Chain A
């Protein structure tokens, strides 16, 4: 399975909104409602932010939201804050049985 495609970097000012895209294929992103998003700070393990395309785990800020259209999923961060500066990875379950990740997007808060 090939990796999912994400932009390498995005930036925004505090209070702004940014959207990270994640493009896959009909064998992964487009086949299942099983896209998840992770936040990773340097030296730390990834943290789940969104699962099943749009669901937010307990404890994750409602400033984070997920969506999907066809083979492209998106993560939107609203009201950008300094603590949101991190790497973000998308992930999808893929046919027949695997998970594939995106290459990661470095988010910078200006």
Chain B
């Protein structure tokens, strides 16, 4: 069965840090391009970071310099280190694998709430 499961969300104060994890199974993880996408009721879906199968990395302007994406192919896991969190980072965070420039596999989301 193909799946991705995100975890690590929670409540954190502004300026704080959080590390999200995403466990994957059922597909060739090491050969896949991976992303983090977040969703809020107000702003909808927002792509925030990509790590290719060759470990090339890209970020959206909204998180560049604050968030770090990484992957561990031996553990079939994707990570997102989030620092200097702001209230506007509150969202449901999804991990997703892309192919043919589309997000073909989505994990269940994990909720991040940034609040005093």
Contact = CB atoms under 8 A, between A and B. Distances in A.
B100 interface: yes
Interface of B is mostly: strand
B45 interface: yes
Contacts, number: 56
Contact of A45 (B35, B94, B100): B94
Contacts of B107: 45
Contacts of A84: none
A103 B47 contact: no
Given A45-B108, A98-B58, A98-B60, A51 B101 contact: yes
Contact of B106 (A47, A93, A103): A47
A89 interface: yes
Nearest to B56: A97
Interface residues of A, number: 24
Contacts of B46: 101
Contact of B50 (A3, A48, A97, A101): A97
Given A45-B106, A45-B109, A51 B44 contact: no
A34 interface: yes
Given A45-B94, A45-B107, A45-B109, A98 B102 contact: no
Given A45-B94, A97-B50, A104 B103 contact: no
Contacts of B101: 32, 34, 36, 51-52, 93
A8 to B, nearest CB: 11
Contacts of A95: none
A91 interface: yes
Interface in B75-113: 94, 100-104, 106-109
Q: Which 6 A-B pairs have the closest CB atoms?
A: A51-B102, A36-B102, A99-B47, A45-B106, A34-B101, A101-B45
